[in-house]
Structure 1
């Protein structure tokens, strides 16, 4: 293997590593003269803990990192995390994958579990409407990479935790912002937090629209979120969360290479055999109301109890090229757990968690003929009940100041039922999957206060989603099996004594069985099948360093360099489809190498500049590996002026450029598309500007 081909792409410099190594010794010699930046703390494993000794691959996207980005979507922030790939086929149409899971997701999120606070955003049918959420309503994001069902149930890719507010915030404030940009982009956002003694009310509202770069790719979203928090005693808290999202976006369809080269802005054209998305008025409309209540109570000094109840209702409309789909979905669920803690003053301290999560989703799905955007005669109708629940337990211990160990497991149950009438539950077809055990074993050892090693073994499990069992061909595929697999991982984390330097690295191998892949029929309807196994070996690194500490005197009052690197050697194993043998081929939809580099400049007089470069290598677009997308380099920057006097209003005025190099590239490929319609062109060089006022 030619390591230089993957580890050091021609257009990527290794100067960041050189800078980090040179300046590490410099920073250590001057540690007494600099102020501590702040240790990274996460709450991904049910309680807050320093990330240094967490024995798993977890990444935190902080509020600062979200603020550095344009604020239009989560895409650039999530893509800065190694192993994460978020794509945008057109505005509002997102796909999120962790460590190669885009193989399974033609759109949206599958085999990744997503939570909003303590509430699962992923429904019982395995679907997640991540595009409903406005990024400005999120305080920070935690990502658990690799299968981690020991606490979070069925997933074979990973877990994303969206934290909507800073639960430690103890003040009242209000903010309003507006931004605009190329291709009709407009966004307004307002937020308010009000403190009433021991109670807090947080309100977010945003409206966003865009005409889109491509023909027939306009989108709009109205989003409102309310969160109420009451600390009814020093150790007890009640939270209520609710959001409503009204999302609509048009779907322009994939292009062949010839069409993409000739006019990347075009929607898929009509043919003599099939009308295109413009003629069929193809679009998605999603109206969702979601609400939940969670109570955290300290029963006695070393016993804590958390219980969350939640529910949602969705009206979904999708006129497509081949049909006109209408869905009504309702979800209800419960998540609860206990946490028993040992004495933290002892040389051996421990925590034990035990709990359960259950949810049920009812979906009334009807497909009609699409007569140029008008609902026609009925093609097929199914009422579907999906139920899943799991028990979970986790025991973790810290032995002295060095060793941390964790043993965890969940027992997962899943079934779906196709009914004649969702109101009477008369069963037409039912499938109940065997219970699946998902264990996890992990160790972390601190070689010093600044360096920790880690290793883990975990099992992944992800049953087929309802969208895969009943795909757009309207045929119930009762034979599709769950994905399962084992992940073996090792890594280390390094910081310096004042936390200006941070380095996280991991190497893993994931052995996935019964991988689910997408196929497309000649009439553009899709179906899914199991593709045997995959072998996924990867290396991930993430580093940041404040070369000039924030608050320094001089022309630059702060300067940070950032870098993340992903190497993905992912292959099919034992994958035969008819007469075609794809064993040994690269995993579809996953680039071999991704390098993200960032520079954060803070100047005197409150000026700032953030620049980011994304190199993504070529991507196999079909299982046969006969077609690849080309590699691309994306550069964007955001510059602005932000006041920061304590007790005074904060004004933030900014402007930026996306795709500075004016690359022609596809950021959301249609994998295994029939007729070679793989490509969805992203916008060329484009601009944005805005301002935000916080009182």
Structure 2
């Protein structure tokens, strides 16, 4: 059976299962005896809303979903969401894309805006150090897919909202967690939440280390996070968040097809002309401090104001094959908005938000010769100041009990200032981008208690980041243009009366202009250019169904099926680079189809099992589409025993296996790599186990 037939056969089986589930759900006549489950609520659009009526493609990674995963990294949880792809080239080296943005994010996060609580984690220069965070310090995650500047400013991919605390929890507790596994994995976490009077304190600490699957891929991270909330009146609260991360990991480099087939565990070997990462002691050392304070007050029954102040500092060190880079980055910013609500009549309720966000980042970047891991002579030095601010407004109205309408926009200003030290003289230049409007129009109509349709039109806009304007070739590229585009989308959400069944489906067409792509020089330094336009048509589904309601009596006390499906028909519309014409080629780095299926099984005597299957189709590795990575099937599971009896310490013993089928696959390909060094092998079959205690 060939690849295509296997793929469509798997889709047919999954579709049959869930259609049968839908029929089972809606054929039930007796539902009053079944306990209603908690309705999914999102907070991404400032106030809480039931997800069924939200006129956007929003996905939620709940605290339960995070707990089901191994808890070592964010990657497995993110990859359960349709349209999301997270990769890890080596332990600690994340990159994240929403609907195809891997095109310009080979080593991190681009054109996706990330927030933690009310603070933007993405700095003014476009950097997001997502790998600095510990997944165990995050309570839940909301992902807004597709361009959304209505409240969050410039982005052409989407928005990720990290919620570090459970704002509904007011209990005091303490927990400790230890996990160990293959390839030298060790992780410890301790957390404390304390409530007294109107004060809430949350403290998290973790340490993680791993030798890595490949040669020269060890990592370690120390992480600390403190959150504090003071409800100083019935209608007002002050929140504080601070985190510190010390992350150090080695970078083994990409392998050619032959090297990858011969021994995928090796680091990139040295050649007579160029020393490899082992000889050059290539690694990344990132020390980041982030802090912010937010005041939220309800001035009247229908008027609310929020003011957030935040700042960060990063010391970044990267001995690389061709140079030794040292960066010092500092960011300061402010975000403020108000909300005016009109709830006088049941026939029409509305909310109006308006505000602004501004921040500035100063990046002092220096490059030196790398003499086997020792800093040598100076190559280049630049001081780059990034300034961005935007105004935003949003009007949302519920008309009757069925129709929700939303009109929103942000007006965005961006500017870079460059001071370049060329040893003998200092030059100053400014790149100011034209102000850009990012409008969004959206409608949702609830046909019944369990069915809602939605549609939206939104504009994407994303300026080049510091890492793209000044890439590893150490040249300032002021000719790099911003990405822009329009996204047209429709969708449907279904649920049954008890919320046991849930289905969310989206169909969209996104036309991006001036797409930014990565290219590599012969000396392994990189640069970026605008590739013209792309055409991105996609279909996504997310579904879950409790076949056996949790808490049922019997040997099996709960059984849930989960599935997500992503179909990405993404192409370059117009892309000419010199004599090469890539127009009509598939978008680099994006698999055509991804199917994620999971099962959550709860048994008598507090035993549980969570298993997940990931099918990913082949991926084009270069713009010419001359080479693809192979398709792969991943299976992992986690089983354990969990006790949560009131009055007794909570216990969770668990063990699991990742890559059960022992697949040889690359997770985090180096796109358009010079010399065909595309592949970064992911770990083969590996095991983990641990213990968590809650007091």
TM exceeding 0.5: yes
* Structure 1: distance between partners of 2:332 and 2:16: 51
Q: Distance in 2 between matches of 1:4 and 1:538?
A: 21
Seen in structure 2, the aligned counterparts of structure 1 residues 272 and 12 have a Cα distance that, compared at 3 Å, is farther
Three-state SS of the structure 1 residue aligned to 2:562 is strand
Whole-angstrom distance in 2 between the partners of 1:679 and 1:570: 22
**TM-aligned CA deviation for residue 3 of structure 1:** 9.7
Q: 1:114 to 1:599 in 2, by over 3 A?
A: same
> In 1, Cα distance between the equivalents of 2:614 and 2:96?
17
**How many angstroms does 1:14 deviate by?**
3.4
SS of match in other structure, 1:467: helix
By how many angstroms is 1:5 displaced? Answer: 7.8
Contact 2:26/2:496 (8 A) holds in 1: no
Secondary structure at the aligned position of 2:474 is classed as coil
SS in 2 for 1:91: coil
- Three-state SS of the structure 2 residue aligned to 1:208 is strand
Preserved CA contact (<8 Å) 1:657 1:686: yes
Deviation at 1:607, TM superposition (A): 0.3
Tell me if the contact between 1:417 and 1:427 (Cα under 8 Å) persists in the aligned partners: no
Q: Distance in 2 between matches of 1:632 and 1:420?
A: 46
Residue number in structure 1 paired with 2:240: 240
How does the TM-score come out when normalised to structure 1?
Answer: 0.98
Q: Distance in 2 between matches of 1:65 and 1:346?
A: 36
Q: Is contact 1:668–1:679 with CA below 8 Å preserved after alignment? A: yes
Following superposition, the deviation at residue 4 of structure 1 comes to 7.1
Equivalent runs, 1:166-315 vs 2, <5 Å:
166-315=166-315
SS at match of 1:14: helix
Cα deviation for residue 20 of structure 1 reads 1.3
| 2: CA distance, partners of 1:168 / 1:17 | 32
SS at match of 2:151: helix
Give the direction of change, closer, same or farther, for the CA distance of 1:428–1:175 in structure 2 (3 Å limit): same
Query: Where in structure 1 do 4 or more consecutive aligned residues deviate above 3 Å?
Result: 2-15
Q: Residues 16 and 561 of structure 1 are in contact (CA less than 8 Å); yes or no, is this contact kept in structure 2?
A: no
Q: Assess if the C-alpha contact under 8 Å between 1:411 and 1:437 holds in 2.
A: yes
| Distance (Å, rounded) in 2 between the aligned partners of 1:514 and 1:493 | 33
Instruction: Determine helix, strand or coil for the equivalent of 2:209.
Output: strand
In structure 2, the gaps of 5 or more residues are none
Contact 2:455 2:491 in 1 (8 A): yes
Deviations 1:61-103 (A, max 9, x none): 0000000000001100000000000001000001100000000
> Counterpart of 1:648?
648
Conserved? CA contact 1:94–1:108, under 8 Å = yes
Q: CA deviation at 1:23?
A: 2.0
SS of 2:681's equivalent in the other structure is coil
Is the contact made by 1:6 and 1:592 (CA closer than 8 Å) also made in structure 2?
no
Cα deviations by residue, 1:417-475 (Å, 9 ceiling, x for unpaired): 01258xxxx87111000000000000000000110000000000000001000000001
Residues 1:364 and 2:373 are matched in the alignment:
no
Q: Aligned residue for 1:393? A: 393
Q: How does 1:3-42 map onto structure 2 within 5 Å? A: 8-9=9-10, 13-26=14-27, 28-42=28-42
Match of 2:22, SS state, is helix
State the partner residue of 1:552: 552
Taking a change above 3 Å as real, the CA distance of residues 586 and 278 of structure 1, as seen in their structure-2 partners, is same
Equivalences for residues 415-564 of structure 1 within 5 A: 415-420=415-420, 428-564=428-564
Match of 2:103 in 1: 103
CA distance in 1, matches of 2:160, 2:420: 35
TM-score by length of 2: 0.98
C-alpha deviation, 1:311, in angstroms:
0.3
1:538 aligned counterpart, secondary structure: strand
Q: What is the CA–CA distance in structure 1 between the aligned matches of 2:168 and 2:277, rounded to whole Å?
A: 48
With 660-669 and 229-238 compared, the bigger mean Cα shift is at 229-238
Aligned pairs for 1:289-368 within 5 A: 289-343=289-343, 345-368=345-368
> Contact (CA 8 Å) 1:288, 1:313: kept in 2 or not?
yes
Q: How far apart, CA to CA, are the structure 1 residues paired with 2:12 and 2:31?
A: 35
Could you tell me how far 1:147 is from its partner in structure 2? 0.2
What does the per-residue CA deviation read over 1:529-552, in whole Å, with 9 as the maximum and x for residues that have no partner? 000000000000000000000000
Following superposition, the deviation at residue 389 of structure 1 comes to: 0.4
